[in-house]
Amino acid sequence: MKQAAYSVLVILLVGIGCSRELPPSQGQSIEIGTQTQLVVDDFAIEVREAVERRVNALIKHPANPILRPDRPWEGQSTMPSTVLYDGSERLFKMWYGTTEQRWNPHQKRSRWAYATSQDGIAWEKPELGLVDFRGSRRNNLLPDAAGRVLMDFAEKDSSRRFKALRYGRATSDGPEGICVAFSPDGLRWEPYPGNPLLTAGGFTLHWGIGDTLTLFGWDEKAGKYVSYMRPSILFRHIGRSESTDFIDWKIPNPVLVPDEEDPPGTQFYGMSVFRDREVYFGFLWVYHPNSLIIDVQLAYSRDGIGWRRTDRRHPILSYGLPDRFDSHVLIALEPLIREDEIWVYYAAENEAHALTKQDLRLGTHALGDTAIPLDQQSWLKERRGYGGLAMVRRDGLVSLDSDAPEGVVITKPFVCRGKQLLLNADASRGRIRVELLDRMGVALPGFEAGRSDPLHGDSVSQLASWDGKSDLSSLEGRKIKLRLLMSHSKLFSFRFGKIEGAL
């Protein structure tokens, strides 16, 4: 009965909160200009033969864990919540949560701390002198705020250059909810006097705000600040909230819930969202309550509202071996794009998530209605929280792969706007040949597959050419298609542009 009630609620939430922005239909002309085209969906693709779309797992850095609890005030946990690169200071900046808990889970003490790095891998914990800990200020603790941090260079008020959004209390005895704060440097925070802005006290339809959120930041398409929050305290799923001023946040509208392709009981703990090229990507924290484990799966959208999941629901970031720091819980943050790579920082735990009353109430755990007090869940006593780093090539989250002697990809027709064609592809085990077609699918003279110079390399910018020539000036302004003949290779993206000296 409990699970049935949950299913009815999910259907209701999908109906009121989800839309799906689909790619243009087959044969329809698209406008791409010189923008890089990702292959996460069929927005630019008309035909695929002997080619499979695949999610590429993030590669964990060998220096992991890059952050670990090694100071007295950090207790058991150092869990990154935001990592930014400040170009004005040429410095990586991290805000992370600590948990001092030895051992009474009902009296744990959480604090926020700050770290910096020159290279994003080796992190320092500077003595800030801002917070007293056992009679000393020689620590990197922050006077509250933190949570999800935004470095807002468009902000005209220098005292609000840094913005923070978090779940908590404005006062020790006040209601819980969404709070904001502002800072000139990301260290000294001024909480908004009207906190909390949204509370867990309950809305007419949404049953109060949940305790997990992420911060996308300013969405140029929407012309608003955007956060992805839990729209209910009863069920874990993803909602979207918007604000024009970072203060007046709207009740989150549900945008992504588990569906029939997910295992029974699946819940969405949260989702970090970022935009790359013309696509919104979501690192979805998928909670499996039967095993008390969280992994990270990929979602994508063309507008940040209508979300789609990748096929087969394979994790893009999966937990490590039982003796590793990230063996049970992974929380991927909004990434940093560094030249030809995407860097994904993540929080991790080496023991299972706590078994909560919510899991039991929903009937999603094998124990049914059998409650176990937190202080009797023995694994929590050994649980530690860390920071990790994983990477993938630029545009490399999803690819079109051909394991056959010759797969085929044909794009939809578009107006040629660039002088050269560049492919982000790995053809090191095979080859890719490129043919240019007119809008009706007929090969253009001089650009036939037989005259294509095969690509054999692995690079984010491989130049297509025909008989040694790459100049497409004669086609500029014409409607064309691409026909890619792929042998044992991977295609990540393509674009039209110009490499100096390559014509």
pLDDT of residue 201: 62
More confident: 17 or 35: 35
pLDDT of residue 503: 42
pLDDT of residue 402: 97
pLDDT of residue 363: 58
Q: What is the mean pLDDT of residues 370-396?
A: 89
Asked if residue 180 has pLDDT above 90, the reply is yes
Residue type, 305: I
DSSP output for 184-195: SSSSS-EE-TT-
pLDDT of residue 103: 54
Are 389 and 60 in contact by the 8 Å Cβ rule? The answer is yes
Question: What CA–CA distance (Å, rounded) separates 268 from 37?
Answer: 29
Strand partners, 437: 443, 481
Domains in the chain (CATH in brackets) are 31-56+399-497 (2.60.120.260), 59-393 (2.115.10.20)
pLDDT of residue 27: 57
Q: Are strands 238-243 and 148-151 parallel, antiparallel or unpaired?
A: unpaired
Tokens 């299972």 belong to which residue? 352
Q: How confident is the model at residue 354 (pLDDT cuts 50, 70, 90)?
A: confident
Express each pLDDT in 451-503 by its tens digit: 999 999 999 999 999 999 999 999 999 999 999 999 999 999 999 987 644 44
pLDDT of residue 361: 62
Q: What is the mean pLDDT of residues 169-185?
A: 88
Express each pLDDT in 83-93 by its tens digit: 999 999 999 99
Q: How confident is the model at residue 380 (pLDDT cuts 50, 70, 90)?
A: confident
pLDDT of residue 367: 59
List Cβ neighbours of 180 (8 Å cut-off, separation of 6 or more): 163, 164, 165, 166, 191, 192, 195, 197, 246, 247, 249
pLDDT of residue 360: 67
Q: Is the bond preceding 65 in cis, omega lying within 30 degrees of 0?
A: yes
Q: Are strands 238-243 and 253-256 parallel, antiparallel or unpaired?
A: antiparallel
Retrieve residue 244's tokens. 């024009």
pLDDT of residue 498: 72
Q: How confident is the model at residue 203 (pLDDT cuts 50, 70, 90)?
A: very low
| 164-173, 409-418, 440-449: least confidently modelled range | 164-173
Q: What percentage of the chain exceeds 90 in pLDDT? A: 75
Q: How confident is the model at residue 105 (pLDDT cuts 50, 70, 90)?
A: low
HSE-CB of 25 using CA atoms within 13 angstroms: 0
DSSP state of 365: S
pLDDT of residue 389: 98
Asked if residue 409 has pLDDT above 90, the reply is yes
| 192-196, 199-203, 487-491: least confidently modelled range | 199-203
Question: What CA–CA distance (Å, rounded) separates 426 from 456?
Answer: 8
Question: What CA–CA distance (Å, rounded) separates 69 from 78?
Answer: 5
Q: Are strands 59-60 and 162-169 parallel, antiparallel or unpaired?
A: unpaired
DSSP output for 111-176: EEEEEEESSSSSEE------S-BTTB--S-B-SS--SEEEE-TT-S-GGGSEEEEEEEESSTTS-E
pLDDT of residue 26: 52
Q: What is the mean pLDDT of residues 83-110?
A: 84
Asked if residue 157 has pLDDT above 50, the reply is yes
What rounded mean pLDDT belongs to the chain?
89
pLDDT of residue 502: 45
Asked if residue 52 has pLDDT above 60, the reply is yes
pLDDT of residue 443: 98
Q: How confident is the model at residue 369 (pLDDT cuts 50, 70, 90)?
A: low
Question: What CA–CA distance (Å, rounded) separates 262 from 494?
Answer: 32
Are 440 and 410 in contact by the 8 Å Cβ rule? The answer is no
Asked if residue 310 has pLDDT above 80, the reply is yes
With b meaning 16 or more CB within 10 Å and e meaning fewer, what string describes 283-321?
Answer: bbbbbbbeebbbbbbbbbbbebbebbbbeebebbbebbe
pLDDT of residue 200: 67
Residue type, 467: D
pLDDT of residue 115: 98
Retrieve residue 149's tokens. 């941090």
Express each pLDDT in 112-134 by its tens digit: 999 999 999 999 999 999 999 99
Express each pLDDT in 269-290 by its tens digit: 999 999 999 999 999 999 998 8
Question: What CA–CA distance (Å, rounded) separates 432 from 408?
Answer: 10
